[in-house]
Amino acid sequence: LTNKSISLENFYFFFDAKRDLQDLTDKICCSAHIDTTQVDINKILLPELRDCKTICIANKKNTDNIYFSGVKVSQLLYFLKLLEYPAEIVQFIEENQFKLDHFLYDVGFDYQAQGTDLRIVKSGYYGIF
């Protein structure tokens, strides 16, 4: 809120990944940036990452975002490969997976619809110690 305008920055909604799956699905479906009758929701709410601790949906000015919090190193690898992260990063995680498997990770991506396809605008990951 400024003297000249009002704008939406980021609006975050946190869900228990196991308990709140229906509410989470409903939140994804009420997006201003995608039509979930056209885009498969499983491209957003990735089944391979759903068994994490918390899932956050962020509504942003030009995109929405999903964060999967508390994923295992094997899920981090899945995410990195799915989003085609540099081979050096993937290889490092693969080679050191046994050293990294006691940590949990957060992964997420900003998305928009592009027709019936989902466009990933940006993504990120980090470790939780």
pLDDT in tens, 57-101: 999 888 999 999 999 999 999 999 999 999 999 999 999 999 999
In the block, tokens 């997006």 appear at: 31
Where does residue 30 rank: exposed (0-12), middle (13-18), buried (19+ CB within 10 A)?
exposed
Alpha helices in the chain (DSSP H): 21-29, 73-82, 87-95, 97-100
pTM, two decimals, is 0.89
Percentage of the residues of the chain whose pLDDT score is greater than 70:
98
CA distance 82 to 79: 5
